[in-house]
């Protein structure tokens, strides 16, 4: 079955051809670590985690690179005073690298909670300043960039004059862009308003600064992704991903930088994940319409009626295709929880089904398997895959009720397939049953065995049980109503 990927660059679903047979280089734009990630950010990273898992399941060897943006990050208005890191260091009275460390740790914790696999390489912008300075110099040398008052800008008009096409990804017409933009950035330093910063001169307020041939400053945001993706994946690599909102200007600028530097389009397949909304509005820190992952999981919020386990959130996200908008709501979460529990119940039930090789089954496992792989290879269609899983859930319940049969061979294959789809590909986890309940049940068994030993006058064994438990911090107390235990 051929893998098809929707390529944002061509706006078409294309048959995927890797540059190197069996191998994939994939780069995904990571977080800007100046504050806690919200649930919307998680959705994008989770979408790419599912894509990464699927690619591996399909047999590809994937090098997955996801960066950490930890250097100066200009806001849209380009005003250095509004740099998110500068603002946050003032607010929290911390060093910039303390801010970076604090929120990188938080980011990792959150992604681990939702069972995201770590990327193979997680490079940081501050760790690649030398590469970014080199790229900037290369662009100046090739005539695609110019220095102005200690900053360096990419010359968009020059790029287009040479027959390259700024706006090809976002389908924007450069003339329109020029006509519609006011020059807010750089206070007249730029030749044209669409020119973007490769290197920015640091104002006295800017604490994160590095020496460069153009004076002290810091790299432009777009440049870091070009520097890190090409360093680890090559000048032309297979897949580049990120949230829909990064298409313009971030990814457009990455294409321009890559083409200008290396005479080749940097990426073969551009993939963009759609947004998470709440109350019908895009989740975003700046508008205040957001929820932090822990608030949803702990129940500490005014929006959801109860706490939800991270794996339920994961399941809810995957019930929407990565290119569709998903609106998170209490009803959606409740429905996901119900669906998840039924799926897991069926999965567990499978262990107790007895096969029957004599009877013909009404369920064609091979057809079902093909449909699942069709969904996976059709631009990573997780909701269709999940719909197929619910078909098999129905079948498993029919097996349990004796209304259906399954052969030994099919039973084994179904177990393997379900295990792979549920845990490896969708990345769901089982919810731990109440540990205290399990411990209590286990201790009751041990108490009963000790009583039997005492009845049969095997005091050596009964004492051994008591002493071994005591050594583990569990004290048995014999009373008139039987034996109880005390956990120390």
Q: Where along the sequence are the contacts to Zn ion (CB under 5 A)?
A: 29, 225
In terms of CB distance, is 282 or 369 closer to ligand AMP? 282
Helix (H) or strand (E) holding 482: strand 482-487
Residue 242 CB, nearest approach to Zn ion (Å): 6
Residues 279-308 that bind ligand AMP (CB under 6 A): 282-284
Residue 266 CB, nearest approach to ligand AMP (Å): 17
Q: Which does 275 bind (CB under 5 to 8 A by kind): ligand AMP, Zn ion, none?
A: ligand AMP
Q: Is 124 in the site for ligand AMP (CB under 6 A)?
A: no
Q: Is 249 in the site for ligand AMP (CB under 6 A)?
A: no
Residue whose CB is nearest to ligand AMP in the complex, by number: 243
Q: Which does 276 bind (CB under 5 to 8 A by kind): Zn ion, ligand AMP, none?
A: ligand AMP
Residue 127 CB, nearest approach to ligand AMP (Å): 18
Q: Work out which of 29, 86, 111, 256 binds ligand AMP, going by CB under 6 A.
A: 29
Cβ contacts of 384-393, under 8 Å, gap ≥ 24: 385/421, 385/425, 385/426, 386/318, 386/319, 386/339, 386/426, 389/343, 389/418, 389/421, 389/422, 390/339, 390/342, 390/343, 392/346, 392/368, 392/418, 393/342, 393/343, 393/346
The verdict on whether omega for the bond into residue 346 sits within 30 degrees of 0, i.e. cis, is no
Q: Is 375 in the site for ligand AMP (CB under 6 A)?
A: no
Closest CA to 125 of 222, 43, 58, 11: 222
Q: Which does 225 bind (CB under 5 to 8 A by kind): ligand AMP, Zn ion, none?
A: Zn ion
Q: Is 243 in the site for ligand AMP (CB under 6 A)?
A: yes
d(CA 237, CA 230): 8
In terms of CB distance, is 198 or 447 closer to Zn ion? 198
d(CA 328, CA 76): 27
Closest CA to 316 of 305, 326, 302, 304: 326
For 86, what's the count of Cα atoms within 13 Å in the CB-facing half-sphere? 18
In terms of CB distance, is 18 or 96 closer to ligand AMP? 96
Q: Is 72 in the site for ligand AMP (CB under 6 A)?
A: no
In terms of CB distance, is 48 or 199 closer to ligand AMP? 48
All residues at 6 or more sequence positions from 127 whose CB lies less than 8 Å from its CB, including other chains:
none
- Cβ atoms within 10 Å, residue 276: 26
Helix (H) or strand (E) holding 139: helix 129-141
Q: Which does 260 bind (CB under 5 to 8 A by kind): Zn ion, ligand AMP, none?
A: none
In terms of CB distance, is 29 or 447 closer to ligand AMP? 29
Residues forming the site for ligand AMP (CB under 6 A): 29, 31-32, 40-41, 43-44, 242-243, 245-246, 275-276, 282-284
């Amino acid at each position: 079955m051929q893998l098809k990927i929707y390529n944002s660059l061509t706006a078409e679903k294309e048959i995927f051809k890797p540059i190197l047979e069996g191998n994939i280089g994939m780069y995904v734009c990571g977080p800007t670590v100046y504050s806690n990630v919200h649930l919307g950010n998680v959705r994008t990273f989770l979408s790419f985690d599912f894509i990464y898992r699927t690619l591996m399941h399909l047999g590809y060897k994937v090098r997955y690179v996801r960066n950490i943006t930890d250097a100066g990050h200009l806001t849209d208005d380009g005003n250095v005073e509004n740099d998110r890191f500068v603002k946050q260091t003032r607010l929290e009275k911390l060093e910039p690298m303390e801010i970076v460390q604090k929120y990188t740790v938080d980011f990792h914790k959150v992604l681990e909670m939702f069972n995201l696999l770590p990327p193979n390489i997680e490079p940081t912008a501050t760790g690649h300043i030398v590469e970014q300075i080199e790229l900037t110099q290369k662009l100046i040398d090739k005539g695609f960039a110019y220095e102005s008052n200690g900053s360096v800008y990419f010359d968009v008009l020059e790029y287009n004059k040479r027959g390259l096409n700024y706006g090809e990804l976002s389908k924007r017409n450069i003339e329109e862009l020029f006509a519609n933009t006011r020059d807010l950035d750089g206070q007249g330093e730029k030749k044209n308003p669409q020119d973007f910063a490769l290197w920015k001169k640091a104002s006295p307020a800017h604490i994160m600064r590095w020496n460069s041939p153009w004076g002290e400053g810091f790299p432009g945001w777009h440049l870091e992704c070009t520097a890190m993706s090409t360093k680890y994946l090559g000048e032309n690599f297979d897949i580049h991903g990120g949230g829909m909102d990064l298409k313009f200007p971030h990814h457009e600028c990455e294409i321009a930088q890559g083409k200008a530097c290396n005479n080749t389009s940097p990426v073969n397949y551009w993939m963009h994940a759609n947004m998470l909304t709440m109350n019908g509005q895009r989740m975003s820190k700046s508008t205040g319409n957001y929820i932090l992952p822990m608030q949803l999981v702990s129940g500490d919020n005014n929006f959801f009626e109860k706490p939800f386990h991270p794996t339920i959130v994961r399941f809810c996200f995957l019930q929407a295709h990565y290119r569709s908008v998903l609106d998170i709501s209490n009803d959606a979460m409740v429905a996901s929880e119900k669906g998840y529990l039924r799926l897991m119940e069926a999965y567990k039930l499978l262990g107790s089904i007895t096969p029957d090789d004599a009877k013909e089954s009404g369920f064609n496992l091979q057809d079902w398997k093909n449909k699942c792989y069709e969904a996976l290879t059709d631009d990573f269609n997780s909701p269709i895959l999940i719909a197929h899983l619910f078909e098999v859930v129905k079948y498993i319940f029919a097996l349990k009720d004796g209304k259906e049969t399954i052969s030994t061979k099919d039973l084994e294959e179904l177990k393997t397939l379900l295990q792979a789809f549920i845990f490896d590909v969708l990345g769901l986890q089982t919810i731990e049953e109440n540990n205290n309940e399990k411990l209590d049940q286990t201790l009751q068994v041990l108490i009963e065995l000790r009583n039997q030993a005492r009845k049969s006058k095997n005091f050596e064994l009964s004492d051994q049980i008591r002493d071994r438990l005591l050594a583990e911090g569990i004290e048995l107390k014999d009373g008139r109503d039987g034996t109880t235990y005390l956990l120390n």
